[in-house]
């Protein structure tokens, strides 16, 4: 069964002070467009292939479309709540990794059996 990787878009985008706040939708699209390389190559040391990649967006980033290899979930309310719902519904019985630096979210998903890593796992690798 594929590993599940869930990316907290707001948290990951917000970890890089590149002016994302002027265009939250565009920033989420740039992050989404960076993720297929991990679907193809994995996240060495974190998640082996094959993996399913889910990007959770909220607020002004709602409506970002999915692309091949990356399913985008638009949260109706809190992105954190949607991530917890996804871990509970889809993470059971398989390796589940959530990409976020949000401490409260970390505690919530770890209680459901997910592992957590920080934004550099997907953002820092491609930018450095």
pLDDT in tens, 84-115: 999 999 998 899 999 999 999 999 999 999 99
pLDDT band at 127 (very low <50, low <70, confident <90, very high): very low
Cβ contacts of 33-42, under 8 Å, gap ≥ 24? 33/67, 34/122, 34/123, 34/126, 35/7, 35/69, 35/70, 35/122, 36/67, 36/68, 36/69, 36/70, 37/126, 38/5, 38/122, 39/69, 39/70, 40/69
CA distance 93 to 97: 13
The verdict on pTM exceeding 0.85 is yes
Residue 128 above 50 pLDDT?
Answer: no
Per-residue pLDDT at 22 exceeds 90:
no
pLDDT of residue 15: 80
Cα–Cα distance between 91 and 88 in angstroms, integer?
6
Give residues with Cβ within 8 angstroms of 115, minimum separation 6.
95, 96, 97, 98
Q: What percent of the chain has pLDDT over 90?
A: 77
What's the whole-number mean pLDDT along residues 70-91?
96
Q: Indicate whether 124 pLDDT > 70.
A: no
**Does the structure show a pLDDT above 60 at 125?**
no
Q: In DSSP terms, which residues pair with 74 in a beta bridge?
A: 57
Mean pLDDT, range 28-48, rounded to an integer: 92
**CB-based burial of residue 96 (10 Å sphere; 0-12 exposed, 13-18 middle, 19+ buried)?**
buried
Tell me how far apart the alpha carbons of residues 77 and 67 are, in angstroms, rounded to a whole number: 22
């Amino acid at each position: 069964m594929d590993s599940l990787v869930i990316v907290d878009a707001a948290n990951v985008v917000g970890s890089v002070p590149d002016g994302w706040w002027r265009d939250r939708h565009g920033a989420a699209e740039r992050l989404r467009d960076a993720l297929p390389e991990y679907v193809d190559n994995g996240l060495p040391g974190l998640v082996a292939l094959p993996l399913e990649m889910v990007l959770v967006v909220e607020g002004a980033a709602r409506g970002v479309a999915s692309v091949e290899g990356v399913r985008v979930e638009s949260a109706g309310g809190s992105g954190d709540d949607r991530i917890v719902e996804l871990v509970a519904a889809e993470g059971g019985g398989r390796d589940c990794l959530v990409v976020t630096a949000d401490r409260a979210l970390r505690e919530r998903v770890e209680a459901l059996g997910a592992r957590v890593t920080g934004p550099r796992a997907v953002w820092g690798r491609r930018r450095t």
